Amino acid sequence: MARSPAGPRRKRRGAYHHGDLRRALVAEAARTIQARGLDSLTLRAVGDRLGVSRSALYRHFADKSALVGAVAEEGFRTLRLRLLEAWEAEGRGRAGFEGMSVAYVRFALTHPSHYRVMFGGSALVAAAPSPALTEEAGGAFQALVDAIVAQQAEGLVRPDDPLDLAHYIWAIVHGIAMLAIDGKLGRHPPGADGLVRFAAERIRSGIALRV
């Protein structure tokens, strides 16, 4: 068949099969990870789904771990947006910060497999994260730092090193998210949300008994 100018034009840019195979590969990999977990992700299946050979991917990624790394990057990008939305939506300050915490854990629980990949669920990615991945992760973390600095400026939070505080808070929401994903929280009332609310209050005022 000769190239017909009136043929189907669903391709985004003038390339062989997909025009943007790279993007399509990341999207399909993310979909599979989300639906069936990282262990079920095979390059063959991804290729089949996209109507492409199983080795076409090597034009765009060094290997499987690079593809998974790109999925992780995309996850951090989305997470950052969710955090900023929640912070703004609840008017920043105290309520905004609690909203951010809830949004964080909720993102993790609605994308458990994706979230695990973001945090070294694959030794592949954990071993040698790309600079791009490190940067995206840093971007999401920065949303936390900024919210803490803003609260310090308003006199809502102790004037400790913002990085220490941000790492501390990150560890808490990350810990809750991971334990919840692993089903280690047992029967906590309204899922992990209850623990997040409990944590928000304890984070603010501590667990020690005032004397």
Partner DNA sequence: ACCTGAACACCGTTCAAGT
Q: How far apart (Å, rounded) are the C-alpha atoms in residues 146 and 144?
A: 5
Quick check: 48 binds DNA (CB under 7 A)? no
Tell me the closest approach of the beta carbon of residue 105 to its own copies, in angstroms. 10
Phi-psi region of 163 (alpha: psi -120 to 50; beta: other; left: phi over 0): alpha
Confirm or reject binding of residue 103 to its own copies (CB under 8 A).
no
Minimum gap (Å) between residue 103 Cβ and its own copies: 17
| Residue 158's binding partner out of DNA, its own copies, none, with CB under 5 to 8 Å set by partner kind | its own copies
Residue-wise DSSP of 101-118: HHHHHHHHHHSHHHHHHH
* Cα 111 from Cα 90, distance rounded (Å): 23
Q: Of the listed pieces 16-24, 28-36, 137-145, 176-184, which binds DNA according to CB under 7 A? A: 16-24
The 3-state DSSP class for residue 123 equals helix
- Find the binder of its own copies among 22, 179, 191, 193 (CB under 8 A): 179
Token pair belonging to 183: 């089903």
- Name the residue nearer to its own copies (CB basis): 12 or 204: 204
Sequence-distant (≥ 6) Cβ neighbours of residue 10 within 8 angstroms? none
Q: Record the tokens describing residue 178, joined without a space.
A: 């991971």
> Between residue 41 and residue 100, which ones bind its own copies under the rule CB under 8 A?
none
The 19-38 contact track toward DNA, x by CB under 7 A, reads --x-----------------
Q: Looking at beta carbons only, is 38 or 196 nearer to DNA? A: 38
Amino acid, res. 17? H
Contacting positions for DNA (CB under 7 A): 15-18, 21, 41-45, 47, 51-56, 58-60, 63-65
